[in-house]
Structure formats: C-alpha cells, structure tokens
Amino acid sequence: MKNLWLILTKYNAFFLFIIFFGLAFYLAVQNNTFQRASVVNSSNHLVGAAYEKINAWKSYFHLSEENALLAEENAALREQLQHYTMPDTVVQGVVNDTVRDVQYQYIVAKVTNNSIHQQNNYITLDKGRRHGIEKGMGVISSSGIVGIVLHVSEHFATVQSLLHSETRISAALEDSQAFGSLVWGDSYDARFGTLKDIPNHVKVRNGELVYTSGFSLFPPGILAGKVIESGITGGDSFLDIKIELSTQFHNLQQVYVVKDVLAKEKATLESQNEDNG
C-alpha cells in the first residue's frame, strides 16, 4: 500500500492529466454532434476490424471440419453424377422403363500414415470394416488415383499405393482410347509413372491426358496424369509412356474409397468363363 501511494505521489501530474483529458474528451463528445458521430464511426470501424480478425482465426481453426464436410459433399456428388452419365434404358413394346443404377459409392477417409520414398509404399486410412471398406477396393483423391485397399481392420485400412512395384491399374489415353497398364515405373519418384502395353502404332502426344479405362477397380474417367514423354520403346511392339501423375502424394490428406456395388456379380459371372476353360 505504501508503494502504491509513493507511485501516485510521484506521478500525480500524469494521472491528473489522464483524468482531465478523459473528462474533457467525454464532455466534447457528449455536447458536440460532429465529434460524437466521428467517435461512433471510429469505434464501429475498430470493432468491425476486431471482429474480422476474430472470425478469420475462427475460420482457420475450423478448416479441418469444413474440409471434412466438403469431402462428404464431393462423395455424394460423385454418386449423383452417375445418374446423368450411366443411364440404362430398356424399351419393350410401348413400355419405356428407364433405370439409372448407381454402380459406385464413395467412402470418405482421412490419411493417417503415408510413405512415398520406399520401393513399395503404403497408406493408412482412418476408416475400416465398420465403415463398409473391403479389401480390393480402389482408392482415389480429388485429383487422381491413389491405390488399392490391401488390409482392413474394424476401424482402419491399409492401401497399396500407386507408388508400389506391384500396383497395376488399367488406364487409357484421352485421344485414341488405347489402354494399357499404369505402373509406378523404375524412377521411384512420386511425381511420375509409366503407362505400359500401348501398341507402337498408336499416336501419342505430349500433354495428352490419361484416365482410368473402367476395366479395373476404378470407375472410368478418373484422371491419372498426363503424358510427358512418349517415344520410349518397351519391346514386343509396345510403348512405355512416361506419365506425370495427377495425384500429389506428398501432401495427401483425404481420399475416397470406391465401392463397386456390382463387383461381386461381375466376378461371379467372369469366374464361369474360367470354369468352362
């Protein structure tokens, strides 16, 4: 208490100045319309700027939630898009029966572990059996192909990445629709892959896009990358085409696990061909 009194005594002129300045400011604002309006406008500007900063920080801290909601919305839109791109119309007599079946469903998952520098790379997802994920399902991102589900537990799944020596995915060239096998290649660089088994006579241009063909676990038309080198001879009258992959594996965060609801029916039918052989 003694120290407080000493401070007040020593700096009494400063404190009196603050008190009288505040009183004078209050009286000026209260008794003058122009000054009062100026103060109100200034305070509104300061408060607005403060709220803007606070809202910006709130938005930043909620980015993960917003990203999750957007991913769910994208998955739903992918399923709805099939209604417009895969119609199956049956006409019999005077009856026109149009059935629009959704063949592919999408399960949103978050990447919890990911490797890109090994010879064989794997990805771990935070969704598993209880979420409908099964071994052998394809995995994509918003930008391209990711890999194939390898193992599944109740709450998690591991994915054999496209960056794996044994991963082969059927993909086709945009112009000619010639298809082959997309593999990682021999460079062990997460940015590039190789499209193999394209016949030598097929004309390939640099910059040509490469999409999934629909002959594997993935829906047709999923972007895989673009051609950056097309004059590589793979032997046996086939080309090896260097592809710049569209998926950014180094910052992969959210993916879509592709569930083909007709996969078992198709596999059962095709197995009859093997039995007959």
pLDDT in tens, 42-85: 554 554 455 456 555 545 555 566 566 566 656 666 655 654 44
Residue 128 lies inside a defined structural domain of this protein: yes
Q: Please tell me the distance from the alpha carbon of residue 263 to that of residue 164, in angstroms, as a whole number.
A: 24
Residue 70 lies inside a defined structural domain of this protein: no
**Do 57 and 174 fall within a single domain?**
no
DSSP state of 134: -
DSSP state of 219: P
**pLDDT of the residue at 277:** 55
Given 30, 61, 92, which residue is the final one in a domain? 61
Given 5, 37, 61, which residue is the final one in a domain? 61
**Do 52 and 180 fall within a single domain?**
no
Cα 135 to its chain centre, rounded Å, is: 21
**Do 136 and 248 fall within a single domain?**
yes
**Do 110 and 33 fall within a single domain?**
no
**pLDDT of the residue at 73:** 59
Residue 98 lies inside a defined structural domain of this protein: no
**Do 121 and 27 fall within a single domain?**
no
Which one is predicted more confidently, 69 or 135? Answer: 135
**Do 179 and 242 fall within a single domain?**
yes
**Do 177 and 48 fall within a single domain?**
no
**Do 109 and 57 fall within a single domain?**
no
Measured CA angle at 32 (ends 29, 35), to 5 deg: 55
Q: Is 43 left (phi over 0), alpha (psi -120 to 50) or beta?
A: alpha
Residue indicated by tokens 């998926």: 247
**Do 111 and 200 fall within a single domain?**
yes
Task: State pTM to two decimals.
Answer: 0.66
Q: Structure tokens of 273?
A: 């061909």
Summarised one tens digit per residue, pLDDT across range 148-177 is 999 999 999 999 999 999 999 999 999 999
Tell me which residue range forms the domain holding 238. Answer: 105-261
**pLDDT of the residue at 166:** 93
Give how many domains the chain has, as a whole number: 2
Residue 69 lies inside a defined structural domain of this protein: no
Enumerate residues 6+ apart whose C-beta is below 8 A from 153.
128, 129
**Do 207 and 113 fall within a single domain?**
yes
**Do 39 and 140 fall within a single domain?**
no
Residue 185 lies inside a defined structural domain of this protein: yes
Cα 226 to its chain centre, rounded Å, is: 18
- Residue 227: beta bridge partners? 243
Supply the CATH number for residue 242's domain: 2.40.10.340
